[in-house]
Amino acid sequence: MLARLPERVSVYEVSPRDGLQNEAAPIPLEAKLRLVDALLDTGLSRIELTSFVSPRWVPQLADADELCGRVRRRAEVTFSALCPNAQGFERAKAAGLPEIAVFLSASESHNKKNTNKSIAQSLAAFEDVVPPALAEGMRVRAYVSTVWGCPYEGDVDPRAALDITQSLLSLGCYQVSLGDTIGVGTPRQTAAIVEMFLSEVAVDAIALHFHDTRGTALSNALVGLMLGVRDFDSSVAGLGGCPYAPGAAGNLATEDLVYMLHGMGIETGIDLPRLIDAGRVAEAVLGRKLPGKVHQAGLPRLRS
């Protein structure tokens, strides 16, 4: 049953971007720097810092340029940022980021609501972002949201998400992160989606991005692992989601994911006690309890 588990997993940390973009009140730049600084000491090697979108759309991340300018850089840590369009790419380039990410949804309604474009228009817009970024020597990742379900349309055909993924890979993205944006997925569905993807794309071409809205994020990640997936997005302390319903949403918590992975003998390169410290920094920065478990409980006393 656990025969296909990978020996090593790469964790892609999204808390500075996906976690902070939903905060009702923007977090001060100094507080963001404190969070990123804590993350830099954990052994995480991929951190998504921010989003180069219009401050009118996402005022929480209006300090994107300044944040990128002020974060401590470490050779072993790759920073990235979301870029929806050519202007975003130019800002990421100016910030000296080695990697960017583009994003769209698997369902038309959500994509329209989120980006004011049809899926075809989003894919067309990426032609002004991905090839220029690759020409600059940057790597480009992509997100496909609402793969497990759409808040407007309900069920989503995973075939549509796979077609979009193929387009993104053809355009030059090195990896497509598949998102259960509203946290509705359950394991049988996850198995069906991942198996469909792995029948057509290489395992390293996909990552899984779960939200824990209904408690199933880690179980869905386990299914991905059992099918051999080696790339998972997560957010320290489960940062993310709506601050008006504490505990109800949020991303899969990085420390919970890493606790499970290490408990299964899967390497991540991450120092779990330091990650737990970073989770506590995230709570201090946000000024409230966050839903991740392991940063609250700590490690068992008598185990490593």
263 part of the interface to its own copies, by CB under 8 A = yes
What is the footprint of its own copies within residues 138-177 (CB under 8 A)? 149-155
- E-only strand ranges, the chain: 10-13, 46-51, 78-82, 99-105, 139-145, 175-180, 206-210, 231-234
Assess whether 173 carries a catalytic annotation: no
Q: What is the Cα–Cα distance from 177 to 180, expressed in whole angstroms?
A: 10
297 part of the interface to its own copies, by CB under 8 A = yes
186 part of the interface to its own copies, by CB under 8 A = yes
String of DSSP letters for 89-110: HHHHHHTT-SEEEEEEESSHHH
In terms of DSSP bridges, do strands 231-234 and 206-210 run parallel, antiparallel, or are they unpaired?
parallel
**Position among 118, 248, 267, 284 found at the interface with its own copies (CB under 8 A):** 248
**Position among 50, 167, 177, 213 found at the interface with its own copies (CB under 8 A):** 213
- Contact segment (CB under 8 A) with its own copies among 33-41, 124-132, 261-269, 280-288 equals 261-269
Tokens of 242: 């709506």
Q: What is the Cα–Cα distance from 212 to 185, expressed in whole angstroms?
A: 9
**Rg (the chain; Cα; Å):** 18
245 part of the interface to its own copies, by CB under 8 A = yes
To its own copies, the closest distance from the beta carbon of 220 in angstroms equals 9
Shorter beta-carbon distance to its own copies: residue 126 or 148: 148
The CA-CA-CA angle for residues 201, 43, 9, to 5°, reads 25
- Contact segment (CB under 8 A) with its own copies among 48-56, 94-102, 160-168, 186-194 equals 186-194
Q: Angle, to 10 degrees, between the axis of helix 272-286 and the axis of helix 254-263? A: 170
289 part of the interface to its own copies, by CB under 8 A = yes
Q: Which residues does the annotation mark as catalytic?
A: 242
Binding residues (CB under 8 A) for its own copies: these are 1-2, 5, 149-155, 182-189, 191, 212-216, 218-219, 221-223, 226-227, 245-249, 253, 256, 259-260, 263-265, 289, 291-294, 296-297, 300-303
